[in-house]
């Protein structure tokens, strides 16, 4: 007997199936807004960061640590852990900072009126402009930096929510979906590899917020650390991307930035406000990124 799978025909009106069998269904929903009342903690430093050490979260902690390493004492911050697998991002306090309920979220309390910033790219630009660092002032170099920064914002959903989800976390393996997103991720890796063949860093000879934005995602992919997809995508082919990835990984501020709000892995690799036993495993953060966090 031939096993024939019926083709899915979308209904006239979509309805939410809470029991779709996919991972992280318990934290995904088709509406916005808070699910419960919970105020956010506030520390004593100028910046209050509410986050988790996923690739999106690491972008911001790397920049904050780079600013501190460069002597910008005004960049001191409190980092508060947001356990997105437990729904902390749907608390009323968090939603007030980020109505999109995604980490990271940042409050700039350095001035008389607190300023909220959500979306990691907006945080990188805000901090870089505030401290006059890691964002060139020369018009051409600035444009190149912002172009690569925005490239990452548009490209990474294909890597995480596309390839990562269908290759590693979907309840069933769909050849078309995996092939479609594998092709796109390979193309993106080639875009970066070709650029880094002609330039030390993404925007030129200077290390910028563009590198900080791209590195957690595509550096992780180039080293085969995301979604256990390195062999499948043959990431070792991208020699220039690997060179750049290893160079950035050697920076002490980057190493420290990766540790912040990291409640998984070896205790020596964690740096967060409550050092206690964690129910995260070493792959939880990457899984949640694939779910759209």
Q: What is the DSSP string of the chain?
A: ----PPPP---SS----TT---TTGGG--S--S-SB--PPP--SSSEEEEE-SSHHHHHHHHHHHHHHHTT-GGG-EEEEE--GGGTGGGBHHHHHH-TT--S-EEEE-SSSS-EEEESHHHHHHHHHHHHT-SS--SHHHHHHHHHHHHHHHHHHHIIIIIIIIIIIISSS--HHHHHHHHHHHHHHHHHHHHHHHH-SBTTBSS--HHHHHHIIIIIHHHTT-STT-HHHHTGGG-HHHHHHHHHHHT-HHHHHHHHBT--SS-GGG-B-S--S-----TTHHHHHHHTT-
Residue 96 to residue 17: CA distance in whole angstroms: 28
Q: pLDDT tens track of the chain, all 293 residues?
A: 444 567 889 999 999 887 665 666 667 889 999 999 999 999 999 999 999 999 999 999 999 999 999 999 999 999 999 999 899 999 999 999 999 999 999 999 999 999 999 999 999 999 999 999 999 999 999 999 999 999 999 999 999 999 999 999 999 999 999 999 999 999 999 999 999 999 999 999 999 999 999 999 999 999 999 999 999 999 999 999 999 999 999 999 999 999 999 887 776 666 665 433 334 444 445 444 444 44
Is the link from the previous residue into 104 a cis peptide, with omega within 30 of 0?
A: yes
When divided into structural domains, the chain yields a total of 1
Handedness of CA 24, 59, 75, 129 (dihedral sign): negative
Instruction: Evaluate whether residue 79 is within a structural domain.
Output: yes
Instruction: Evaluate whether residue 189 is within a structural domain.
Output: no
pTM over 0.85: yes
Instruction: Evaluate whether residue 28 is within a structural domain.
Output: no
Instruction: Evaluate whether residue 264 is within a structural domain.
Output: no
Write the CATH number for 92.
3.40.30.10
User: Which domain range does residue 65 map to?
Assistant: 47-134
Instruction: Evaluate whether residue 59 is within a structural domain.
Output: yes
Instruction: Evaluate whether residue 14 is within a structural domain.
Output: no
Instruction: Evaluate whether residue 120 is within a structural domain.
Output: yes
Instruction: Evaluate whether residue 139 is within a structural domain.
Output: no
């Amino acid at each position: 007997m031939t096993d024939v799978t019926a083709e899915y025909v979308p209904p006239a009106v979509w309805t939410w199936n809470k029991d779709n069998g996919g991972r992280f269904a318990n934290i995904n929903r088709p509406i916005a807004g808070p699910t419960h009342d919970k105020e956010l903690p506030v520390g004593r430093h100028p910046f209050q960061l509410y986050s988790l050490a996923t690739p999106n979260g690491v972008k911001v902690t790397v920049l904050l640590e780079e600013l501190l390493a460069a002597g910008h004492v005004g960049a001191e911050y409190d980092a508060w852990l947001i356990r997105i697998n437990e729904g902390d991002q749907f608390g009323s306090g968090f939603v007030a900072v980020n109505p999109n309920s995604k980490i990271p979220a940042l409050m700039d309390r350095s001035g008389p009126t607190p300023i909220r910033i959500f979306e990691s790219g907006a945080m990188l630009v805000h901090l870089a402009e505030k401290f006059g660092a890691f964002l060139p002032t020369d018009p051409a170099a600035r444009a190149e930096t912002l172009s690569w920064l925005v490239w990452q914002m548009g490209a990474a959903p294909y890597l995480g929510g596309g390839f990562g989800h269908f290759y590693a976390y979907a309840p069933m393996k769909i050849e078309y979906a995996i092939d479609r997103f594998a092709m796109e991720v390979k193309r993106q890796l080639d875009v970066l590899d070709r650029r880094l063949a002609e330039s030390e860093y993404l925007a030129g000879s200077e290390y910028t917020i563009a590198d900080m934005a791209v590195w957690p995602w595509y550096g992780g992919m180039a080293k085969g650390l995301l979604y256990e997809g390195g062999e499948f995508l043959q990431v070792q082919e991208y020699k220039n991307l690997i060179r750049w990835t290893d160079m950035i990984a050697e920076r002490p501020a980057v190493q420290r930035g990766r540790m912040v709000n990291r409640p998984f892995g070896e205790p020596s690799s964690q740096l967060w406000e409550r050092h206690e036993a964690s129910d995260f495993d070493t792959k939880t953060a990457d899984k949640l990124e694939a779910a759209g966090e």
